[in-house]
Amino acid sequence: MTEDQKSLKDFQTSKKVAKRPTYSQNWPAYDFAKTNEVTLFRQLLQELLDASLPEDNSQHYGRKRILLKVRIFCICMKIYYRADLRKCVSILREFQRLGYIEKVPSYRSIDYFLNDESLAPILDELISISSLPLVSIEKTLAADSTGFSLSRFDQWSEFKWGKMNGKERRWVKAHALGGCLTNIILSVEITKKYRNDAAVFQQLIKDKTVYFDAEEFVADMAYSSKSIVETCIKLGLMPFIPFKKNTSGKAGGSFNWKRMFIFFKENQEYFYQKYHQRSNIETSFHMVKKRFGDNLATNEPTANKIELKAKFLCHNICILIQEAMEREVVIDFIDCAKMVNSVKLKT
């Protein structure tokens, strides 16, 4: 064997040793979840709404209003099937035949639902409840933001002082807190496109650590601030947030900030190994955009907010379907709703 042949053999051997790691997939469970997703989605959505939104029988006179859970159901079905308002009516007729709803609202009514500001906090609670079946699985939380474009355009010259001609599509920003293992979303905040990520952190984290026994929090440098580090430590989360280049590491009233800076400098390999779990929140955003669209069909700010929150709720239900099959997660929305209500009563 010549020297060239030896070197080639050594190279091939080294490549085999350094083979890229692969991860096992329970394909039968995955296939079952995907091939039955449509049926399981509407069943889980109905169970979630029944557990979280009890019927309101306080109306004694006047025209009978559409129940709250029916309004949410119609919005989610529009999002799930990516249908326009008129086509959504024909889809809902099939659900009426199956017994999910008593009466099909008109397409104008569905548009009214999307512009109902009172539905936003209800969707927030539903997103929270839909994440709770995975409390025992998620140990690392991540936060980030992404943009969703609108159908309207802004004049580029309006905010570039007339230096350029042309148009820029309008968009809104979705800030989310999610799990790094299953890609479940714990909370979502919708803001204007220039809102700083760190300014929304407190709204995202809220009481989530009460439910999730998480141990770590990962985020990019947009979240690198003393207040966020202090909040994470207080909540029992180890913050893996890289420091900016101009950071001195001086305490400035925050001992935890200085301690994390020293840990970051002395253990960079371990730190970045943990930090790179942050890419999973970007995967979650990709899943939402790929499945339910990266643009919004609505134009008004309230409707944008409702539509986007409904997208993340639909995403969570799809995640639960997959996790129920692959990890045999038990989904009991009644218990999850009770957990949320008990925390609300304490606060």
> How is the chain split into domains, by residue range?
27-55+115-338
C-alpha to C-alpha distance for 336 and 345, rounded to whole angstroms: 15
Nearest to 296, CA basis, from 312, 318, 281: 312
Per-residue pLDDT at 177: 98
Would you place residue 12 in the very low, low, confident or very high pLDDT band (cuts 50, 70, 90)?
very low
Highest mean pLDDT out of 109-118, 144-153, 161-170, 253-262: 109-118
Per-residue pLDDT at 45: 97
On the question of pLDDT at 10 being above 90, the answer is no
Per-residue pLDDT at 16: 47
C-beta separation of 316 from 123 below 8 A:
no
Q: Give the residue carrying structure tokens 């096992």.
A: 24
**332 phi/psi in degrees, rounded to 5:** -130, 95
On the question of pLDDT at 236 being above 80, the answer is yes
* Bigger pLDDT: 58 vs 117: 117
pTM listed for this prediction: 0.89
Average of pLDDT values for 119-135? 97
Name the 3-class secondary structure at 276. helix
Per-residue pLDDT at 11: 44
Average of pLDDT values for 27-54? 94
C-beta separation of 113 from 119 below 8 A:
yes
C-beta separation of 259 from 182 below 8 A:
no
Residue-wise pLDDT tens digits, 130-154: 999 999 999 999 999 999 988 666 5
Would you place residue 304 in the very low, low, confident or very high pLDDT band (cuts 50, 70, 90)?
very high
Q: Give the residue carrying structure tokens 């007339």.
A: 162
Residue-wise pLDDT tens digits, 268-279: 999 999 999 999
Residue-wise pLDDT tens digits, 192-203: 988 999 999 999
Q: Is 85 exposed, middle or buried (0-12, 13-18, 19+ CB in 10 A)?
A: middle
Average of pLDDT values for 7-32? 63
CA distances from 339 to 46, 120, 133, 312, 332 (A): 19, 20, 11, 21, 11
Per-residue pLDDT at 20: 54
Q: Considering the chain, what percentage of its residues have pLDDT values greater than 70?
A: 86
On the question of pLDDT at 66 being above 80, the answer is yes
C-beta separation of 220 from 238 below 8 A:
no
**87 phi/psi in degrees, rounded to 5:** -70, -30
